[in-house]
Each structure stands twice: as structure tokens, then as C-alpha cells.
Amino acid sequence: MKKLITPLLLILLFSLQGCSLVDKPKGEWDAKDYYEHASDAKENQNWGLAIRLYEELKAYYPYGKYAEQAYLDLAYVYYRYDEPESTTRELEDFLRLYPKHKEIPYALYLRALAVDSINKSWTDEWITDAASRDMKSTQEAYNAYLILLNEFPNSQFAPEARKRLMVLNNRLARNELKVAQYYYKRQAYLAAANRAKAVLERFPKATVNIESLALLKQSYEKLGMVENAKNADKVYQLNSGAKTATP
């Protein structure tokens, strides 16, 4: 009987020790405890609690593998919590502190997503044209995706980054065309021609290039630059199959 009791006592003892670890007071948490509790909050999409615990982990245990991973996890949580500026801040710190980390491609991609989301609005799809707003964050997002593709062209995030790059490229081109159209309506034909030409030069594959060619031709005509207008119309016809270009 004694031989049976001893193993049972050992099992009970270890079980109690396990419970004591689970119920460890927060004041006794180490880096691993903070990370595990923060990760649990993240998995449960309790973003506010996850943010607080990851921030505390970084503050109390700023060095080591748990703090290192906390930057990435916290950046993701901030992104899901709709705080892209905080996401960007965490990732900038991570890239500065761990430039050789294996998750650099992911960090660059998440940073691009965060910057990209700053200029998005829920009305974009239904009401507003994103090209009508300030293009600063759009250009920053474009640059962020470009950095990822230049440094890691074959990463798992590259295909999606290329898709977003095309969308942003068209948005920037559309904004430039809107400026050209504004000048044309104000009878500032030289400025309109220069802006329309800039669309074609900076964004050669943009979806608004046919419109830009039409506006360029009309601007040249208003300026009395007959040969330039004819050349613009020739290019327009080659690309659209139309007989004449109209703004």
C-alpha cells in the first residue's frame, strides 16, 4: 500500500505545483508569464488587454526573446485595434533594434499595411474617391511596399504587395490628373499640359493615361501648339483606337 501511496502523493504534489504556476500573482510574473498572458489576450482578440500586457512586458523586461517578439505581436495588435500610427512606431523600433531578424519581411509588410490604412475611409467604396484626398500617406504607403519588394522580392508577402502597389499607383495618377483638370477648367492650359504630361511620365501603366492624353492634346490646342497636339493625338489613337481625342 505504501508503494501505491507514494506515487499518488507525487502526482498530487506536482498537480498542486502546476496550479500554483497558473495562479501566480501578477507581481511575480517573469517575461515568459507576461508574454503568455499577452498572447492569450491576443488570441482572444482582447486587444486592449493585449496591448497593456505587451507594453508592460517591454517596460519590465526590455531584453530577451520575449521582448523581441513582443514588438511584432504588439504591432499586429495595434493594427487590429485600428491604431496604425502605433503599429508603425513599434515596427520602426523593431527594424532598428533587430535589422537581421528573420521576420523582417513580415515587419516591412505590416508597416506598409499600417501606412496604407491611414488614408483609407469606409466611404471609399461607396461615396468618395480616395484620389481626392491628400496623397502624402498614399505616397508613403507606396514607398513602404516598394521597400519590401526591393529588399525581399520573393517573400510570401510580395504578391499582395505588388497588387497594392498597382492600386496606389493608379490612385496617385488619378490625383495628378484631377489637378491637371482643375488647371484646364481655370484656363491655365500650360499648367494643365504639364500635369497631364507628368501623369504619362510618372505613371506609364496607370488606368487614367487615356484621359491624360486627351487632356494633353486639348491643352496643346488651347495653347496653339499644333504639332504637339497632333503628336498627342497620334499616341492617343494608338492606345485607344479612337479617331479623335476629347477631354
* pLDDT recorded at residue 241: 61
Predicted TM-score (pTM) of the model is 0.79
Separation of alpha carbons 158 and 150, rounded Å: 10
Average pLDDT, consecutive stretches of 10 residues, N- to C-terminus, the chain (247 residues): 48 44 77 97 97 97 96 98 97 96 98 89 48 78 97 98 96 96 97 97 94 97 96 90 46
* pLDDT recorded at residue 61: 96
Question: Going from the N-terminus, what domains does the chain have, and what CATH number goes with each?
Answer: 30-117 (1.25.40.10)
Which of 172, 155, 224 has its CA nearest to residue 193? 224
* pLDDT recorded at residue 27: 83
Q: Are 157 and 148 within 8 A, CB to CB?
A: yes
Q: For residue 65, count other CB atoms closer than 10 A to its CB.
A: 10
Residue that has been written with the C-alpha cell 499582395 in this structure: 160
* pLDDT recorded at residue 25: 87
* pLDDT recorded at residue 26: 84
Which segments of the chain does DSSP mark as H helices, in order? Answer: 2-22, 31-43, 47-60, 65-80, 84-97, 104-118, 136-151, 158-185, 189-202, 209-223, 226-240
Q: Are 31 and 43 within 8 A, CB to CB?
A: no
